[in-house]
């Protein structure tokens, strides 16, 4: 017999509520409010991790290490503010597209069965780059 994993389809109501709460937490610089959306052992991948946290793999695991990383980041950017542009939903996932201190950011979040973030990957706009016109 073949068993299939449970697929969590995130609806628009959940996605928008999550996005608003997440953005509000960041804009208030409330790391605990932001971390309340994440599983204890979640994984964060970002190209800024080596320069801020000194982790060459660009990946941090667990709330304690991510809290320390985000705290360092907020100390370096005390006026940090995000402006949400789009919320995209997928299977077990959503992507937040927002304007941050470096330009546009796409944050891809994967959820576990309890709707807690288990993995997050962050992609930043390259300084001075623009989307090509087709």
Is 125 part of any domain? no
Indicate whether 134 pLDDT > 90.
no
Backbone angles phi, psi at 3, to 5 degrees: -110, 135
pLDDT digits (tens, 9 = 90+) for 4-14: 455 566 788 99
Is 78 part of any domain? yes
Is 50 part of any domain? yes
**CATH number of the domain enclosing 101:** 3.10.450.50
Q: Report the alpha-carbon distance of residue 63 to residue 108 in Å, rounded.
A: 17
Q: What is the dihedral of CA 72, 115, 24, 45, to 10 degrees?
A: 30
Is 124 part of any domain? no
Provide the number of structural domains found in the chain.
Answer: 1
pLDDT at res. 9: 66
Is 68 part of any domain? yes
pLDDT at res. 126: 84
Is 81 part of any domain? yes
Q: Report the alpha-carbon distance of residue 100 to residue 80 in Å, rounded.
A: 7
pLDDT at res. 2: 54
Give the structural domain span for 102. 12-119
């Amino acid at each position: 017999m073949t068993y299939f994993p449970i697929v969590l389809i995130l609806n628009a109501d959940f996605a928008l509520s999550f996005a608003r709460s997440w953005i509000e937490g960041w804009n208030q610089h409330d790391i605990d409010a932001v971390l309340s959306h994440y599983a204890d052992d979640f994984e964060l991948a970002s190209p800024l991790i080596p320069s801020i946290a000194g982790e060459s793999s660009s990946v941090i695991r667990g709330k304690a290490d991510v809290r320390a990383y985000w705290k360092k980041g907020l100390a370096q950017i005390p006026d940090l503010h995000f402006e949400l542009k789009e919320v995209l939903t997928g299977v077990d996932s959503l992507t937040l597209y927002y304007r941050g201190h470096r330009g546009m950011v796409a944050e891809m979040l994967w959820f576990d069965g309890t709707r807690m973030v288990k993995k997050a990957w962050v992609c930043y706009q390259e300084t001075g780059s623009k989307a090509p016109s087709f």
